[in-house]
């Protein structure tokens, strides 16, 4: 997005039915997200709806009610980048968010800092670290990215663009200024505060972790407007459950699942 510009987006994501390893209960999930970005700031809201089957065979809950159905996330993110000296660059981002079942609270704070070196307009490297804070866990992870733009007229209009790194890698092939294909891989995690009346743990927490892959088709029918759709597969999925004090009570592996995604973004 151009510096100082504005972007609004709607992202829908469907995760197919999958079970927990060693249990007969299953669930699927539908997620949609709306976001607005202006200059350095992004405000977003995400809604997840879970559909459960064979609840009585799940290893948690009361065997009658859905463990949870609707989960929400609200967040505000700030992102800054600039030049230090010559080809050296700096990157900083911070996001404050809350993920919950029925009441805002238990905030998360994610902070990333990195330095980069531009070998050329077509080849850039970035390294740094990120800290993901929540009251039930604190994770420090390395952040790295190697970016390359190949072919085409310039780095702004390449034939192929590649970003290899942590926590996300992407490969995009540009057929034309209007049409492109993107393959991506992302490591994702989220902690949700459960309801006071949760059949799992009253005011406890549920954490999900996934490796998300996707192959997308991107089409821009008008300047600033991008329509994207694709299929993917989520794997290395895990679910952790915590009591209201943040003490881990259970840890489950979740089967992989096929996914579908539709995205609309408009810049102006």
Q: What is the pLDDT of residue 152?
A: 82
**Distance between CA atoms of residues 70 and 165, nearest Å:** 32
Mean pLDDT by 10 residues, the chain (268 residues): 80 96 90 97 98 94 95 98 95 97 92 97 96 94 94 85 94 96 96 96 96 98 97 97 95 96 97
Contact at 8 Å (CB) between 228 and 212? Answer: no
> Residue 55: what pLDDT?
93
Reduce the secondary structure of 181-195 to three states and give it as a string: EEEEEEEEEEEEECC
180: left (phi over 0), alpha (psi -120 to 50) or beta: beta
pLDDT at 23: 83
Domain range 6-267, CATH class: mainly beta
Extract the runs of DSSP E, i.e. beta strands, from the chain: 6-19, 26-38, 41-53, 70-85, 88-100, 107-120, 123-134, 137-150, 160-166, 168-174, 179-193, 205-222, 225-242, 248-254, 257-267
Domain ranges, ordered by start, for the chain: 6-267
Q: Quote the pLDDT of residue 5.
A: 84
């Amino acid at each position: 997005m151009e510096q100082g510009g504005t972007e609004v987006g709607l992202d829908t994501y469907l995760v197919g039915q999958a079970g927990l390893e060693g249990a007969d209960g299953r669930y699927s999930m539908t997620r949609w997200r709306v976001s607005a970005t202006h200059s350095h700031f992004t405000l977003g809201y995400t809604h997840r709806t879970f559909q459960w089957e064979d609840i009585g065979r799940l290893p948690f809950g009361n065997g009658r009610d859905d463990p949870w159905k609707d989960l929400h996330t609200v967040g505000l993110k700030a992102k800054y980048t600039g030049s230090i000296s010559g080809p050296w660059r700096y990157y900083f981002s911070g996001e404050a968010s809350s993920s919950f079942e029925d009441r805002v609270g238990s905030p998360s704070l994610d902070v990333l800092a990195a330095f980069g070196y531009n070998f050329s307009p077509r080849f850039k490297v970035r390294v740094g670290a990120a800290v993901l804070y929540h009251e039930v866990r604190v994770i420090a992870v390395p952040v790295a990215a190697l970016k390359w733009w190949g072919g085409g007229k310039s780095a702004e209009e390449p034939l192929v663009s590649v970003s290899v790194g942590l926590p996300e890698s992407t490969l995009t092939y540009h057929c034309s200024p209007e049409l492109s294909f993107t393959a991506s891989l992302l490591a994702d995690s989220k902690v949700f505060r459960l309801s006071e009346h949760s059949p799992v743990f009253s005011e406890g927490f549920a954490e999900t972790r996934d490796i998300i892959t996707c192959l997308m088709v991107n089409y821009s029918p008008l300047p600033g407007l991008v329509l994207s759709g694709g299929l993917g597969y989520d794997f290395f999925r895990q679910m952790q459950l915590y009591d209201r004090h943040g003490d881990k009570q259970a840890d489950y592996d979740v089967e992989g699942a096929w996914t579908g995604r539709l995205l609309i973004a408009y810049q102006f």
